[in-house]
Structure 1
Amino acid sequence: MRTLDGRYQLEQRIGVGGMSEVWRAYDQVLDRPVAVKLISPGRDEQDSPVDRIRAEARSAARLEHPNVASVHDFGTSSTWPGRPVPYIVMELAEGETLAVHLRAGPLDWRIAVRVCAEVAAALAAAHAEGIVHRDVKPANVMLTPAGVKVLDFGIAIAAGTLDPMPTGMVLGTPAYLAPEQLDEAPATPAADMYALGVLLYYSLTARLPYRAATASELLSVRRRQPPEPLPDIAGLPAEVAELCHSCLADDPEQRPSSLVAALLLAEAVDARVYVPMTIPTARRQVPTSPWTERAAAEATEAVALVDGPSVPSGR
């Protein structure tokens, strides 16, 4: 077992991605289990991600929300000869990812909506801080005994910021990228809402709203045709189907905000979510949904009546 900075003892690798790997580790100073994400070094000094990852870790560390896996620390390791390897120390969320659960097929609609309500609440907290996740997908949603934890703000970015990646490269998972992301537009909260729409669709049907066999075919199909509508699902409220459809709109202005999505989905299953006090975009919504107007009014009333960092909503 390796130890980083004489403090974090790496015990078991629990995840591998294209640019990083995640380890279950033990914090010897604070006597607790943690997750450590090691970011692969670049090919040369110009590719070193240390400064970028440090900035992203600082942004993610500002988030304090029950549905966000918190960031504890940032550091670098000399594991690679002569090259600093950045790592992020995070809360260890115990459970299974939504991706694992969906291998057995679609979730019961009540569970799917509850999960996505909590994901939307986590995004609302991030968006209130001006942070866009950019990689919302089932593998980054952990289902724990205490509820949902949204993982991996490792490629999060400030809203409105141009992607620092080289021209022609876009971070994220192709199936969950908003149309404007494919055109390399600046990241905005609306891009996360597109991904939430895909996540909700997938949770309800165990398939994507596009039919394609490969990633390249998927990108081609997405540019040529709109997403497929949700199939009929017994008992699913029409407002939830409408919200899913609105999230998948090509026009970012037509997508609901994360705050409104969290409130609408939570009310559909009589659940409670925690949303930020600020509601910067709550009223800029699709005007055809009565649920949208009610959720915005409910959020406004909560802000007016409750004094605190967050407010529980739902029945």
Structure 2
Amino acid sequence: MTTTSTDRQWPASFTHRLTAPLPGPRQLLRALREGAFRASTAEADQIPVSRDGALPELPTNTASITWVGHATFVLRLGGACVLTDPVWSARIPGVPRRLTPPGLAWSALPRVDAVVISHNHYDHLDAATMRRLPRDTPVLVPAGLGTWFRRRRFTAVTELDWWESAEVAGLRFEFVPAHHWSRRTLFDTCRSLWGGWVVSAPGGPRMFHAGDSGYGHFFSEIGSRHPDLDLAMLPVGAYQPRWFMQAVHMDPEEAVRAAADLGAARMATMHWGTFLLSGEPLLEPVDRARKAWREAGRDPADLWDLAVGETRLLPTA
């Protein structure tokens, strides 16, 4: 289904899409009392950063991904450049300053042909970064989030519900479910949807960006609808304390399991090493992901545990 939903009427709330109850005030107070979000930053200088200042040349018949940090990637495929959940800011509300610099200078970006947003949390939707984009940049967003962009004078906004798709810049974008939620203020909990994106070009490859998600049945459903995923970009961080985070954030072992459910040929780690959001040690997410990948019998070359700023190439058909 293809849509450019500027006049669609969305429900006032998407709470009926939640797959688990959200932690309430009592659970939040408990987490704060326990110091659950106070991970040490002592290992910050050990987070790998490989920032060369420019994107490498893209050989013929290849696509590429570049990890800018957190959930932000630069995807180059089908002759187009796509940004996922772009955050170039040094600070976002509610958390300490960025631990590692963006993996690519803003000035080094090629023309951006499309932006995909998974949901409206500040670490995935950054107003300061969005202001740096031309207002005619095509933006694909979850249902209910289009108003935020149109108020900021973006003119090419596509809102999608789960399992809906659109074609932009010669690419196909499908919005798919996630086990998560949305909120940007005290008064808009679940007023917009959340999810991930399957991005594909004619002749390939086909990439999946999970946005933010707990582990659950949606991954096998996505895999059954897209049995030829070349790459899954999956979050491996922000999972401690487990009793608080489990419903909405995977741990590294669950991310590896999700990659298997998806049937993805490769997995790229994300959502770690950029912002201090939870209680686990800074390097633990990727260390545990590597261990789980080995124990699953997967080829180590197919786990793309990228350094910030690193680019990997994918062949196209």
Q: Determine if the TM-score, normalized by the shorter chain, exceeds 0.5.
A: no
Larger Rg, first or second structure (1 or 2): 1
- Structure number with greater CO (CA < 8 Å, separation at least 6) is 2
**TM-score, structure 1 length as denominator?**
0.28
As a proportion of its length, which structure holds more helix? 1
